[in-house]
């Protein structure tokens, strides 16, 4: 069943993005994964309390308040414990990752895949460049130094996301891949909460140069038409679709609540993912349905296997850009 109207598809192709309101149902599609993450937070809180890194278990608090308390007390970036991808440096057999069944079901959400099919075709691959974004209020974030326990930093992982293209944060072998970004909040993503902002029609400019900064890969401001930037506040159930070359960033979270969102990718089956060291899977195949992966345990194991491989030999480069690039000086 098609979920996008011809007008929405045209907007995506012309402007480089399209926002679809209320595509997902909160009770059916979002609450189950939030409940799963609440269990992850509970285990993490017990571990931190056992290590004397937080002052209390904070069991009587909401997910948001409990997460904020864990950040405040520990002074650490904790996003990697929730992420459905591995860190890009220093992976060990103990590197945290969460690849639970509700996360897998979110990647395989049939309503979402119907819309994805409208944009990239009937043979859809779940690209492994995927993240859950746990974005606490800016006031409780540590600085941008690397957390030695998780390999995560502040900045891109939890704070302000700099201007970038998703095509720019993968290897050049995926430049012609029809990679689709699907971004949707599990909690409110107002301007105050640090919603995304996009630059319409910026996808027409090709792959822009990215610089390595403490906050992540970033397109230098002089290359961008920042006056054209449009904030995209969203509510749970709304879904934003972006082309691989649409310039986007996020605002700081100046609210008193945690903002949680999925940032996932799909591309046609057989096209390079730009990060082949990580595992993807066939999410939708009209021509050969038996190729689709439906087993959450097999998916989780593929990530554990990747972690084991990378603990022996980490991949040298996850993107094309290098430190000390003269253009970025």
The per-residue pLDDT for range 105-132, each reduced to its tens digit, is: 999 999 999 999 999 999 999 999 999 9
Q: What is the pLDDT of residues 130-164, one digit of tens each?
A: 999 999 999 898 864 444 454 444 444 566 889 99
For the beta sheet containing 259-268, the strands, ordered from the edge strand earlier in sequence to the opposite edge, are 17-20, 239-242, 180-185, 259-268, 123-135, 281-285
DSSP 197-245: EE-TTGGGG-SPP-EEETTEEE--GGGS-GGG-EEE-B-BTBEEEE-TT
How many of the other CB atoms lie within 10 Å of CB of 134?
A: 23
**Among the ranges given (44-48, 63-67, 155-159, 253-257), the one the predictor scored with the smallest mean pLDDT:** 155-159
Q: What is the pLDDT of residue 325?
A: 73
Each residue of 320-329: pLDDT tens digit? 887 767 678 6
Report pLDDT digits (tens) over 176-204: 999 999 999 999 999 999 999 999 999 99
HEC letters along 89-155: CCCCCCCCCCCCHHHHHHHCCHHHHHHHHHHHCCEEEEEEEEEEEEECCHHHCCCCCCCCCCCCCCH
User: Which residue did the predictor score with more confidence, 49 or 141?
Assistant: 49
Domain 6-317 grouped into CATH 3.30.470.10: no
Q: Whole-prediction pTM value?
A: 0.94
Q: Give the tens place of pLDDT for each residue, 247-271.
A: 999 999 999 999 999 999 999 999 9
Name beta bridge partners: 313.
Answer: none
State the pairing for strand pair 216-218/230-232: unpaired
CA distance 138 to 72: 11
The whole-number average pLDDT for the span 169-180 is 96
């Amino acid at each position: 069943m098609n979920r996008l109207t011809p007008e929405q598809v045209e907007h995506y192709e012309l402007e480089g993005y399209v926002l679809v309101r209320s595509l997902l149902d909160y009770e059916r599609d979002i609450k189950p994964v939030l409940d799963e993450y609440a269990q992850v937070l509970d285990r993490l809180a017990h571990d931190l309390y056992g290590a004397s890194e937080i002052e209390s278990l904070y069991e009587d608090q909401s997910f948001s308040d409990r997460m904020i308390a864990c950040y405040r007390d520990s002074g650490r970036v904790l996003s990697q414990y929730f992420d459905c991808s591995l860190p890009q440096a220093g992976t060990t057999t103990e590197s945290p990752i969460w690849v639970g069944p509700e996360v897998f079901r979110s990647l395989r959400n049939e309503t979402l895949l119907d819309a994805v099919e409208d944009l990239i075709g009937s043979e859809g691959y779940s690209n492994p460049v995927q993240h859950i974004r746990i974005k606490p209020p800016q006031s409780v974030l540590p600085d941008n130094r690397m957390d030695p326990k998780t390999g995560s930093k502040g900045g891109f992982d939890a704070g302000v996301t700099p201007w970038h293209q998703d095509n720019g944060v993968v290897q050049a072998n995926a430049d012609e891949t029809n990679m689709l970004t699907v971004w949707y909040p599990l909690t409110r993503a107002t301007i105050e909460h640090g919603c995304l902002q996009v630059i319409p029609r910026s996808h027409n400019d090709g792959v822009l140069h990215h610089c390595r900064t403490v906050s992540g890969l970033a397109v230098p401001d002089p290359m961008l038409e920042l006056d054209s930037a449009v904030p995209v506040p969203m509510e749970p159930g709304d879904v934003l679709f972006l082309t691989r070359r649409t310039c986007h960033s996020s605002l700081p979270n100046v609210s008193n609540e945690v903002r949680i969102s999925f940032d996932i990718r799909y591309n046609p089956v057989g096209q390079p993912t730009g990060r082949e060291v990580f595992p993807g899977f066939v999410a939708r195949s009209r021509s050969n349905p038996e190729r689709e992966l439906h087993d959450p345990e097999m998916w989780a194991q593929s990530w554990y296997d990747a972690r084991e491989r990378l603990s022996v030999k980490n991949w040298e480069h996850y993107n094309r850009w290098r430190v000390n690039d003269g253009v970025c000086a």
